Amino acid sequence: MRPILMKGHERPLTFLKYNRDGDLLFSCAKDHTPTVWFADNGERLGTYRGHNGAVWTCDVSRDSMRLITGSADQTVKLWNVQKGTQLYTFNFGSPARSVEFAIGDKLAVITTDPFMELTSAIHVKRIAGDSTEQTEESVLVIKGPQGRINRAVWGPLNRTIISAGEDAVIRIWDSETGKLLKESDKESGHKKTITSLTKAADGSHFLSGSLDKSAKLWDTRTLTLIKTYSTERPVNAVAMSPLLDHVVLGGGQDASAVTTTDHRAGKFEAKFYDKILQEEIGGVKGHFGPINALAFNPDGKSFSSGGEDGYVRLHHFDPDYFNIKI
């Protein structure tokens, strides 16, 4: 399995997202310029210029016509995917950390960081079909708990919003009223900051990764803990195969410890675990810095990872990957 190295970013990667068809890969980094690549050969298609800060997150509409990006420049922008033009800019008083389109692409959930006097917040915006009619106002604003919310995603049928962040608690909110419905249990939940959260293809369960060196699999409706995957280093990114029962964890050490390790090889690896048996089945090495982003192609036949080293590595699985036996 030879990776395709995609060099287009000058700064560490923050987020990776495939479109629904799996032919395009969008990458966000701290260099202000989200980039789109061909997902089969790693060729760079184009960039989206306009942000003035690190871009933390993005999402692409179901029809691959629109891209939404959230940035540390305190804006969220809507883009035309094909032309690379800006369609609209939402302005906030603090950095935008997470964005996701709802099913149907008529709504978007956006989380903003605590900044000056502002607490963290979850905003729901209505996305107009015609961008000339787009407005700034929020349908709902949920004032967040203490600390940053690193990720907020839509629950089944857009009825709920699932959020997670620095206080290590996963919360499920009613997306109509903003009422808190459920919180993850302190005992079984994460012990440190939750860095990442990804949903299964069918939305029935989701995976969270944390700096407590573990990832956990949860039931979306009941918030019951199903599985825990333990590793030796903090987890920055998680992904779930849509095809096989595999979960992938990516991470690294704290910056203070980086200098003490072997400098020769790309030591940072994406670790594969069996989703059901919770056992490690393999790893893909290669990055020269912690892995900050992971994404599976919707067909489950390839995955990509983005690192602190500014590279995106695109891996097409070998045929023998599909018959790994434990």
Looking at residue 135, which CATH number applies to its domain?
A: 2.130.10.10
* Structural domain contains residue 87: yes
Backbone angles phi, psi at 156, to 5 degrees: -60, 140
Given this model, what pLDDT does residue 108 score? 97
Q: Is the distance from CB of 148 to CB of 114 less than 8 angstroms?
A: yes
The verdict on residue 292 lying in a domain is no
| Mean pLDDT in residue range 6-28 | 96
pLDDT tens digits along 193-250: 999 999 999 999 999 999 999 999 999 999 999 999 999 999 999 999 999 999 999 9
Entry pTM: 0.93
Structural domain for 46, as ranges: 15-241
Residue 29 lies in a domain: yes
- Written as six digits, the tokens of 201 are 């293809």
Task: Look at residue 106 and tell me if it is in a domain.
Answer: yes
Residue 13's CB is within 10 A of a number of other CB atoms, namely 29
Name the domain count of the chain: 1
In a domain, 322, yes or no: no
pLDDT more than 70, % of the chain? 95
Instruction: Please indicate, yes or no, if residue 277 is contained in any of the structural domains.
Output: no
Q: Are 172 and 161 in contact (CB under 8 A)?
A: yes
pLDDT at residue 183 above 90?
yes
Using CA atoms, how far apart are residues 315 and 4, in angstroms rounded to an integer?
Answer: 6
Residue 91: CB partners within 8 Å, gap ≥ 6?
Answer: 74, 75, 136
To the nearest whole percent, how much of the chain has pLDDT over 90? 87
**Average pLDDT taken over every residue of the chain:** 93
Which tokens go with 25?
Answer: 């890969």
User: In terms of Cα–Cα distance, which of 292, 57, 76 is closest to 151?
Assistant: 57
> What residue type is 207 in one-letter code?
L
203 located within any domain: yes
Is the residue at 202 inside a domain? Answer: yes
Query: pLDDT digits over 301-314, tens only?
Result: 999 999 999 999 99
Percent helix / strand / coil, the chain, rounded to 5: 5, 50, 45
